[in-house]
Structures are given as structure tokens and as C-alpha cells.
């Protein structure tokens, strides 16, 4: 066989094996038996070995995996992998409809999907070939597990059909079917290994194994449910899923397009009863707005899309005994009571502790020591006590009273009016607050200082090398090298990352300070509105509340922070070390007051800019984005397909309407 004949035969075998894989693992309709499949695969592998110049990383032969150990590198997601807000009742679902109805005037279609209980994956395809597979990670970046994902036969390495974009991402859930999970645990027990607690843990653990040939033997499955890209073929979510199915992706046939929230609720009720019949685990239902234009209009919060929620099925409940209550101190001084329980099996895991959240929860439950308590998993993740079997209580049982002093430093606790939590006010000397603030400060979404884990921070604190966040910038190599498991490379990595953090922009530095109630989104708003830390310090309560999305609670927290002399001293030290405490000149140059004082509503789809880009331009030029039309609206920025009821309001309130072109011209 010459090279031309070999290449022709290799391409034929690859095409046939891709088709047979799809028929078996996606359609569940095999057209050949296992022996015939194996013979074709053996022929392909033999030809690829004989003609290595025709190697292809997406060949079906690559699904067997490799014995080479991998070190997963972390890659930033092109589109952040956000989490979904959870709901647990019909009332919650109807509240979701009410919220989104206020933000869009058009009729809303919903897509309901099974919420698979596995590990999230994001697959990138280029020119019809699998290019990369990333885990969710922290939502901003994840581990590159491409080699392991290629062993999952439900995931196409090469797409079939036509009409797919040149580059796009598709996201889904990798799972371990119950049958495979049960057999795996039998094998582990036979080998005196600990069994996996549930299929989710087994799937996650398998995907992160260093040896892809072992992953291949785990028989993982994958359902895909979300298409992303700059040029998607369909104008709604359901249509794109149907197209993805034609390209060879495993898309659930149990998804449903619903015209009303009542249809959504019927779907939820049906699967709450039928879920036990499925071959893979689910823990709820995902509800999405179907129209991509409406998704764009509804937008996102910092953590989740406004156009989608998950409904979690009622959690399993078990009874166990309450042995004691201990108290944890968070980085902001918040005190969280924790129930210590007799170990009990719950939703596939062993539970020994449960959060009690705050003093009111303890009081409302009327908890006593040695009570028989009912435990559920909130969202099947965090265990919580939901009730007490009072009939089994001993008459002499001691009532649990919330503590009055910090369990770590002994300081008397305070409770701010209107808040549920108690706090330790000793922010500068209470150990867990100090280490917690340092951990927050170095986090990826804050200063992104690499190489410092919880253990290292604890060691630095115990040895008095770091007593607050500003001390990080005083560290020297000779301080780090004596630490346990610290080598030269690790020390250089930490010091290099600390130096690089001097370039982190003001909005992230502000978030990193850990001011109570100032999250990522709030920090960004404050930075853009006020421009510098000095302006923020000098701002009055009234001036802070005028900033978009800043209310009394946040404003008071900021003022309290800067009234603390010790916190001011730390900030001044950070300024002296060279951190960015004001917008850089380039950002300042972009800002103008051309839209100052104007309240602007955006609606419709636009040709040259995304809705997020237009919102950013409004903020950059001093305007304020608002979601609904009222008498206070100054401008209506209208694209295509604006809802008739929204236009009626614009006309009623005589609001000036401008096009995308007019808006851009106004800024120029």
C-alpha cells in the first residue's frame, strides 16, 4: 500500500469509526457489533503506526488514552462559566417569571432541561474539530483536560453535517452512569480501596486523573446543553441545541420548549417523579429563556445569568443527634454557628456537621444539646438542620444559647441593626479574620497572587512575618525559604507574583481590601464613579448613595471602614508600596461627562455593538444605565425588535429615542 492509498484508507476508517461511535454512544442505535468495530479500530491503529506522518489528534484511535501522566495547565475561559441561582418551590419559579417580565416587554418562551449531576465541561471546536476541553474551575479559568475528554465516546472529536460555526464553545455535564458507578465501587472494595460517595464525585475524580488510559476505562458519559460563540446559526437556545444534535453532539431528548410558566411547572412535577428511572443522576431542572436577544437584554449579575435558574428537587431528609455547637469566625468577623452531629449518610455522602447560619436560626429551632434533629442538604450541597423531634428531647436537656464573645480572641460580639449575623469587631487582632482577609486579598478575582495557599498564609502569620495584607509587600526570599515545603522556585514564584500584583487595576484592588458588602460589581461601580481611593475616602453618605447600585447599607459599610484608623494605615502602606489606587490615565482619558446626569434605557438588538459594550460606554461617559422605562428616563437607546409595549411607554412619557448610530455620533 502506497502513501496515497494509505491516507485514503485511514480517512475512510476514521469517518466510519466516528459514525459508529455516534450511533452507539449518542443515538443508542449501533449498526455493527463490537467485534467488527474492534477490527476496524485495529486496522486504523496499524495504519497510523505505519504512516505516522498522517497522525491526527482527533482520530478515533486517540480515545483509548495514554499512559503518560499529565499535569493540567490552567486556561482562562473565553466566556466565564457562571453558576445558576437556585429555586426550591413553585413560588420561587413564579418569582423568576415576575422578575424577568419586568425587564423585557416581549412574550417569553422557556426551555426546560434536566439538571445533570456531574462535573461541568466546556468544549471548544475549531473548523469542526475538538480543540480544547476545560473544567469549570473557579468560573474564570479551568483545567485543560482535553486528553482525558477525548476518551469519552459520547463527545465527538470531529463534527458531522454542515452549518456549524468555524469556532464555538459548547458546554455540558460529564457524568458516570449508575451502572458504571456501582460496578466501579464493587471493584474498589474488592481492592480494599474506599468506594466513591456518589456518581458526581466519581465523575469529577475520574476526569482529573493523570493517566488518560485509566479515564478511558471509566466509561464516562456527557450531555451537552449550551452553545456559545460570536456567530451562532440560530436565534434561540432551543434551535441551536437541535442544530448541535445534527452535528453529532449528545443533546438530551428530554428537553422541552415551554410557552408558559405553568408548562414549566408541569415539566418539573413530571421529572420529580420520573427521575429515578434515568440511567444517570439528575438533581433538578434548569429553566432558560429561549430567545438569545432576550437573554442579551436580561443580562447577568456578577455570579449568574438573569435569564436562567435551576429548580432543585426536594432534598433527602434524615434524623441524627446534635452533639454540640461550635462557632467559626469569617474574614469580615461574621460568626457562623456549626452543628456537630452523629455521622449519618445523606444524599450519597457522610454528614457530620451542618451550618446553623445565625442566632435567629438557633432560636427559631429551639435547639437543645442531644436533640434528635432532621438534616437536609440545601441544594444537595450544604447540610442544614430543618427541624427537631421535640418528643425525643430529654427534660433536662441544656438549651443552646448563642455565644457573647468571640471564640478566637474573646472580644465581645456586636450585632448591627438590620443584620442577621453577629460580628467580632476586633478586625486587626482576631487571627481568623487576619488570615481570612489575606486569603481574600490574594485571590484570583482580587490581587491574583500565585503560590500562596491557606497553609503558607497560616505559617506566615504564626511566625509574625505577615500580620496584615500590606506585610505581603515586605516579604523577602529569606523569609520564605525556611517555611515548610518551600523551595527556591516556589519562593521566586510567590515574590514574582506579588511584584506583578502592583499592576492590578484599581477596581480589583478595591475589591481585594475586603470592605464588607463591597463585592466585585460594587467595587467596579465605585472605582469608575469616583476614580480614586482618596475620592472614596472623602465621599459622604449622600454622595456614595448617588453611585449606581449603591444603597445605604453599602455606603455605611464603606464609611465605617475608612473611619477605622488602623484600616486607613494599612491602605496608606499599600499606597506607599505602589498598588493602583486610582484609575490609570488611559481609563481617565476615556471618561467624559457627555452623558452626565442622564438615565438611559437600552432595548433591542444592535448591529455594531453588544448591549454590554453600549452599557459600558454609558458609564464611561457619565450616564446611568436603568432597566425599566419611567418618567425619570432621559434617553431610550433603541435597536431592532423593540417590544411594542416598551415603545408605548416611551411614547407615553415622551422620552427621546436615539439609534445606535446617533448615540455613537453623540459620544464622538
The residues that are catalytic are 115
Contact 111, 257 (CB under 8 A): yes
Q: Beta 282-289 vs 74-76: how paired, if at all?
A: unpaired
- Residue 98 neighbours by CB under 8 Å, 6+ apart: none
Q: Specify the DSSP element, H or E, that contains 366.
A: none
User: What SS3 state is found at 309?
Assistant: strand
Q: How many helices (H) and strands (E) are present in the chain, helices listed first?
A: 25, 20
What are the strands of the beta sheet with 256-258, ordered from one edge? 85-87, 308-312, 282-289, 110-116, 256-258
Q: Which three cell numbers stand for residue 363?
A: 432560636
Helix axes 178-190, 199-207, angle to 10 degrees: 80
Helix (H) or strand (E) holding 113: strand 110-116
The crossing angle, in degrees rounded to 10, of helices 3-25 and 34-50 is 150
Instruction: Cell 444592535: give the residue.
Output: 606
CA 395 vs. chain centroid, Å, equals 47
CA distance 391 to 371: 10
Q: How would DSSP label each residue in 16-51?
A: HHHHHHHHHHTSS--SS-HHHHHHHHHHHHHHHHH-
If we measure between CA atoms, which residue out of 203, 206, 244 comes closest to residue 226? Answer: 244
Among all chains, which residue has been given the C-alpha cell 455540558? 172
Q: Give the C-alpha separation, 459 to 453, whole Å.
A: 10
What CA–CA distance (Å, rounded) separates 321 from 654?
65
Closest Cα partner for 237 from 111, 85, 137?
111
Strands 167-175 and 119-126, how do they pair? Answer: antiparallel
Q: Which three cell numbers stand for residue 138?
A: 473557579
Say how far apart CA 41 and CA 47 lie, in whole Å: 10
Quote the CA–CA distance of 527 and 554 in Å, as a whole number. Answer: 14
What's the alpha-carbon Rg for the chain, to the nearest Å? Answer: 28
Residue 641 is given by DSSP the state: S
E-state strands within 260-364: 282-289, 308-312, 317-329, 335-346, 349-355
Distance (Å, rounded) from C-alpha 107 to C-alpha 293?
A: 12
Amino acid at each position: 500500500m502506497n502513501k496515497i492509498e494509505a491516507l485514503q484508507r485511514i480517512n475512510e476508517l476514521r469517518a466510519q469509526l466516528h459514525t459508529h461511535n455516534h450511533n452507539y454512544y449518542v443515538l443508542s442505535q449501533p449498526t455493527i457489533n463490537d467485534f467488527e468495530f474492534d477490527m476496524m479500530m485495529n486496522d486504523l491503529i496499524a495504519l497510523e503506526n505505519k504512516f505516522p506522518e498522517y497522525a491526527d489528534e482527533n482520530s478515533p484511535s486517540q480515545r483509548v488514552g495514554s499512559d503518560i501522566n499529565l499535569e493540567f495547565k490552567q486556561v482562562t475561559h473565553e466566556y466565564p462559566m457562571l453558576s445558576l441561582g437556585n429555586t426550591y418551590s413553585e413560588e420561587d419559579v413564579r418569582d423568576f417569571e415576575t422578575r424577568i417580565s419586568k425587564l423585557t416587554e416581549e412574550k417569553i418562551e422557556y426551555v426546560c432541561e434536566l439538571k445533570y449531576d456531574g462535573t461541568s465541561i466546556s468544549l471548544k471546536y475549531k473548523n469542526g474539530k475538538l480543540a480544547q476541553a476545560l473544567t469549570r474551575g473557579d468560573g474564570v479559568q479551568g483545567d485543560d483536560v482535553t486528553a482525558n475528554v477525548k476518551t469519552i465516546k459520547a463527545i465527538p472529536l470531529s463534527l458531522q453535517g454542515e452549518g456549524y460555526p468555524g469556532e464555538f464553545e459548547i458546554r455540558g455535564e460529564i457524568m458516570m452512569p449508575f451502572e458504571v458507578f456501582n460496578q466501579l465501587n464493587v471493584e474498589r472494595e474488592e481492592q480494599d480501596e474506599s468506594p466513591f460517595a456518589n456518581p458526581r464525585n466519581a465523575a469529577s475524580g475520574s476526569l482529573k486523573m493523570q493517566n488518560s488510559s485509566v479515564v478511558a476505562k471509566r466509561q464516562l458519559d456527557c450531555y451537552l446543553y449550551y452553545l456559545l460563540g460570536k456567530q451562532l446559526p440560530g436565534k434561540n437556545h432551543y434551535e441551536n441545541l437541535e442544530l448541535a444534535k445534527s452535528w453529532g453532539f449528545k443533546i438530551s431528548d428530554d428537553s422541552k420548549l415551554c410557552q408558559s410558566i405553568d408548562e414549566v411547572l408541569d415539566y418539573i412535577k413530571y421529572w420529580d417523579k420520573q427521575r429515578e428511572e434515568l440511567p444517570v443522576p439528575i438533581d433538578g431542572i434548569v429553566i432558560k429563556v429561549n430567545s438569545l436577544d432576550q437573554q442579551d437584554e436580561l443580562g447577568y449579575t456578577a455570579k449568574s445569568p438573569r435569564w436562567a435558574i435551576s429548580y432543585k428537587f426536594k432534598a433527602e431528609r434524615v434524623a441524627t443527634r446534635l452533639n454540640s455547637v461550635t462557632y467559626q469566625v469569617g474574614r469580615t468577623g461574621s460568626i457562623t454557628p456549626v452543628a456537630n452531629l452523629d455521622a449519618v449518610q445523606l444524599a450519597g455522602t457522610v454528614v457530620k456537621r451542618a451550618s446553623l447560619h445565625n442566632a435567629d436560626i438557633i432560636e427559631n429551632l429551639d435547639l437543645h444539646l442531644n436533640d434528635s434533629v432532621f438534616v437536609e442538604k440545601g441544594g444537595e450541597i450544604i447540610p442544614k438542620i430543618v427541624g427537631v423531634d421535640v418528643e425525643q428531647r430529654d427534660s433536662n436537656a441544656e438549651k443552646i444559647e448563642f455565644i457573647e464573645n468571640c471564640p478566637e480572641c474573646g472580644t465581645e460580639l456586636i450585632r448591627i441593626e438590620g443584620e442577621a449575623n453577629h460580628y467580632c469587631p476586633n478586625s486587626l487582632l482576631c487571627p481568623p479574620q487576619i488570615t481570612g482577609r489575606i486569603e481574600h486579598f490574594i485571590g484570583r478575582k482580587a490581587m491574583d497572587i500565585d503560590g500562596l495557599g491557606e497553609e503558607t498564609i497560616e505559617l506566615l502569620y504564626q511566625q509574625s512575618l505577615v500580620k496584615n495584607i500590606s506585610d505581603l509587600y515586605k516579604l523577602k526570599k529569606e523569609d520564605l525559604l525556611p517555611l515548610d515545603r518551600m523551595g527556591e522556585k516556589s519562593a521566586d514564584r510567590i515574590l514574582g507574583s506579588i511584584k506583578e500584583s502592583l499592576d492590578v487595576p484599581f477596581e480589583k484592588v478595591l475589591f481585594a481590601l475586603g470592605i464588607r458588602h463591597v463585592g466585585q460589581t460594587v467595587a467596579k461601580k465605585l472605582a469608575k464613579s469616583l476614580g480614586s481611593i482618596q475620592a472614596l475616602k472623602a465621599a459622604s453618605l449622600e454622595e456614595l448613595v448617588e453611585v449606581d447600585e449603591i444603597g445605604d447599607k453599602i455606603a455605611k459599610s464603606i464609611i465605617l471602614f475608612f473611619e477605622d484608623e488602623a484600616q486607613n494605615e494599612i491602605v496608606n502602606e499599600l499606597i506607599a508600596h505602589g498598588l493602583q489606587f486610582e484609575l490609570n490615565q488611559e481609563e481617565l482619558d476615556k471618561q467624559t461627562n457627555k452623558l452626565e446626569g442622564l438615565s438611559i434605557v437600552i432595548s433591542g438588538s444592535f448591529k455594531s455593538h453588544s448591549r454590554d459594550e453600549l452599557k459600558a460606554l454609558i458609564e464611561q461617559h457619565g450616564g446611568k444605565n436603568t432597566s425599566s422605562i419611567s418618567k425619570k428616563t432621559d434617553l431610550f437607546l433603541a435597536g431592532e425588535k423593540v417590544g411594542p409595549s416598551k415603545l408605548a411607554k416611551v411614547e407615553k412619557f415622551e422620552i427621546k429615542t436615539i439609534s445606535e448610530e446617533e448615540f455613537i455620533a453623540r459620544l464622538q
